[in-house]
Every structure is written in C-alpha cells, then in structure tokens.
C-alpha cells in the first residue's frame, strides 16, 4: 500500500471508532509506531482535526470524510461476507445485512454493480446440515443485549436430559464454533459462566435489569480460560493406506492432524489431540486401512473397541471402553 492510500485508510479507520490506539493502526497496516505518528501528523497538516489523548489514542473532532468508492476487491469481499451471513446466521441478521447491502449497491458505479451481479451466481456457501430447531430470530436481540448489558431470561433446552430450564443470564458475547452460534454468558441461576447453544434457546426476554460488564470476564478472557483448562494434547502417529488416505483430507483436521510423510503405498500422519478416544472412534471406521504406531494407549483403545464391536455382532459379552480407555 502506498502512502496516499494508507493515509486515506487511516482516516477511514479513525471514523469507525470513538478512539483509536496508535498500536491498532500499526498492527493493521504493518507499520511502526513512528510511521503512525508521521502519518497522523501529515493528516493534521492537511487540515484534518485529529485529537489525541496520551495513553488513550486518537479521535476525530467533528470531521467526516465524504463517501468513498469501493474497489472491485472490496466489493467481492462484501459479497463473500453476504454468502456466509446468508447461511450461518438467523433471519434477524440476514434481513438487516441484506438491507445494508442494498444501500451499498445503490451508491456503486454502474460497472461495479455489474461486477457484483456477474459474480454473485458463482459464489455459494454450504450451510448447516440440519435447520435450527427453535431459534430463528435471536441473534440480533442477543447482540443488542450484549451491547446494552441487559440481563436476559431464557428458556433453554438441555439436549442431554431433554429438559427445558429457565435461566437468568448476563450475556458476554456470541461465539461461532461447531457449526453453530453460542451465547457465552454468566448464568445467575448457576452462579458461573456457561456456554448456551443459541439454537436451543426456546424463548428469550429482557428482564429490564442491567449488569456491570467490568465485574465479569470478557468474551476473550472466557475463551482463554477455557483453553487453559483443556486436557493436555497428546501426540499420535498413524499409518493409512493411500486408498483410504485420499478420503480423509478434510476430516483429519478435526482430530488434530498437523503433518504427514509419504511412505509409498501408505502415508504416516501425525496428530496432536487432547481427545484420544475421539480419535480412536474415528480411526476404527477405516478398519484394516489404518494402523496406529503410537502411543500405546491409543493402540490399546483400538484393540478394545475392535473387540467390543466383534463381541457385539457375534452376540458375546463385550468389553466396555471407559473415558480413559480402560476396560470394564
């Protein structure tokens, strides 16, 4: 990015937030803090009223840049975002984003409008395999509750016991993983932090009460805490026959795959996972096409699970495989 483009981008960035830290600009544009200071000074010399507060950041004082034109790459990126939102959010977010996208399209040059019209039919995203059973318009309400710091009352369906319980929660943020959106919140009913799948919230109402966010973990702090409580990852080495290996190129990443070695007719794959039993149950589906080299714990799990399957289909007593891989 040349300096003129960067100065324009910095000015646009300053309009997106009330206060912007110098380090934030340095990180985004890959420049040093000294360069940030020079660029800000250049904007000030050009007449842009930029205020600064030591230790806080920069802010614009009653200044707004007129609408800027999008590049074709930026327009394409918006379309990518639209496709993801269409398949991985609910109706409340889809409707609002569609409205915003129409407004953006309306100010595009004719050539850019044609570009987005030509590209749109050639992009698509695979959505969830099953539709959300309950929630269809909750994401916008949840986003607003997070911003407003409003305590919510939710009716939540617990899948493991088929029970609907009512909870008072303080919403901290929304997090997408495992093919669905999750509400991370402090549950007053359980007096602890909880992870609620949004598609299991059957009803949601605001209590009208507010909570103080400073008294709770942030979303990132919660995620960091969860990461430190995960079981210690273990190394596993597995050899696949090539005829089977060709079918697992995407699936293997779900089980901690990180490296492989071509051995001719076979492929040695290396995994790092805290859940050996999950890896075991996936590997067993490939039968004699897979061989576990290490660790010995995983080899034992495979032997016992294979014996359990054999005994089940032969009608004989089966070993029971516990969570730690031992037999009962």
One DSSP character per residue, 6-50 reads HHHHHHHHHHHSS-B-HHHHHHHHT--HHHHHHHHHHHHHTT--E
CATH code for the domain of 242: 3.30.70
The number of distinct structural domains making up the chain is: 4
149 and 225 in a common domain: yes
169 and 97 in a common domain: no
In sequence order, which residues have a C-beta less than 8 Å from that of residue 239 and are 6 or more positions away?
Answer: 263, 266, 267, 268, 269, 290, 291, 293
Let me know: does 266 contact 240? Beta carbons within 8 Å: yes
Q: What is the pLDDT of residue 67?
A: 62
Task: Print the domain residue range for 85.
Answer: 72-122
Q: Per residue in 185-224, is it b (16+ CB within 10 Å) or e — as a string?
A: bbbbeeeebeebbbbbbeebeeeeeebeeeebbeeeebee
87 and 20 in a common domain: no
- Does the pLDDT of residue 58 top 80, yes or no? yes
Average pLDDT on 10-26 reads: 89
pLDDT tens, residue by residue, 167-183: 999 999 999 987 789 99
- Residue 320 in domain: no
Q: Is the pTM of this model over 0.85?
A: no
**How far is 91 from 112, CA to CA, in rounded Å?**
27
In sequence order, which residues have a C-beta less than 8 Å from that of residue 283 and are 6 or more positions away?
Answer: 238, 290, 292, 302
- Indicate the range of 68-72, 79-83, 113-117 predicted with least confidence: 68-72
- Does the pLDDT of residue 286 top 60, yes or no? yes
pLDDT tens, residue by residue, 291-321: 999 999 999 999 999 999 988 888 765 455 4
Among residues 207, 229, 251, the one where a domain terminates is 229
Among residues 24, 39, 60, the one where a domain terminates is 60
224 and 184 in a common domain: yes
105 and 79 in a common domain: yes
213 and 258 in a common domain: no
- Does the pLDDT of residue 327 top 80, yes or no? no
CATH code for the domain of 217: 2.30.30
Q: What is the pLDDT of residue 103?
A: 83
In sequence order, which residues have a C-beta less than 8 Å from that of residue 121 and are 6 or more positions away?
Answer: none
- Residue 67 in domain: no
Among residues 208, 229, 250, the one where a domain terminates is 229
251 and 303 in a common domain: yes
- Residue 323 in domain: no
Let me know: does 159 contact 217? Beta carbons within 8 Å: no
**How far is 141 from 129, CA to CA, in rounded Å?**
24
- Does the pLDDT of residue 244 top 80, yes or no? yes
Q: Which residue has the higher pLDDT, 161 or 263?
A: 263
Q: What would the two tokens of residue 37 be?
A: 């200071």
- Residue 130 in domain: no
- Indicate the range of 55-64, 112-121, 260-269 predicted with least confidence: 55-64
Average pLDDT on 197-204 reads: 92
CATH code for the domain of 46: 1.10.10.10
- Residue 44 in domain: yes
238 and 203 in a common domain: no
What is the H or E stretch that residue 306 is in?
helix 296-314
Q: What percent of the chain has pLDDT over 70?
A: 92
């Amino acid at each position: 990015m040349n300096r003129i483009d960067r100065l324009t981008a910095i000015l646009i960035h300053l309009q997106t937030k009330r206060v912007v830290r110098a380090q934030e600009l340095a990180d985004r544009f890959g420049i040093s803090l000294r360069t940030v200071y020079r660029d800000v000074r250049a904007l000030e010399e050009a007449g842009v009223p930029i205020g600064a507060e030591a230790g806080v950041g920069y802010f614009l004082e009653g200044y707004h840049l007129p609408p800027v034109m999008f590049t074709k790459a930026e327009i394409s990126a918006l379309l990518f975002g639209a496709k993801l939102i269409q398949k991985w959010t609910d109706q409340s977010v889809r409707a609002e984003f569609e409205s915003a996208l129409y407004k953006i399209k309306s100010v595009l040059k004719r050539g850019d409008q044609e570009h987005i019209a030509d590209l749109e039919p050639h992009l698509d995203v695979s959505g969830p395999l099953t539709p959300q059973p309950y929630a269809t318009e909750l994401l916008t309400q949840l986003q607003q509750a997070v911003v407003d710091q409003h305590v919510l009352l939710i009716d939540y369906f617990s899948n493991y016991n088929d029970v609907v319980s009512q909870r008072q929660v303080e919403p901290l943020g929304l997090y997408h993983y495992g093919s669905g959106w999750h509400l991370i919140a402090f549950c007053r009913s359980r007096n602890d932090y909880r992870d609620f799948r949004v598609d299991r919230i059957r009803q949601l109402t605001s209590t009208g009460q507010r909570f103080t966010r400073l008294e709770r973990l942030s979303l990132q702090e919660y995620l960091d805490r969860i990461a430190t409580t995960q079981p210690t990852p273990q190394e596993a080495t597995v050899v696949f026959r090539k005829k089977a290996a060709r079918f697992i190129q995407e699936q293997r990443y779900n089980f901690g795959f990180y490296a492989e070695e071509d051995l001719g007719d076979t492929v040695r794959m290396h995994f790092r996972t805290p859940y050996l039993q999950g890896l075991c149950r996936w590997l067993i589906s490939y039968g004699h096409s897979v061989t576990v080299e290490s660790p010995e714990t995983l080899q034992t799990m495979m032997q016992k699970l294979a014996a359990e399957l054999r005994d089940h289909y032969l009608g004989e007593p089966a070993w029971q495989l516990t969570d730690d891989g031992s037999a009962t």
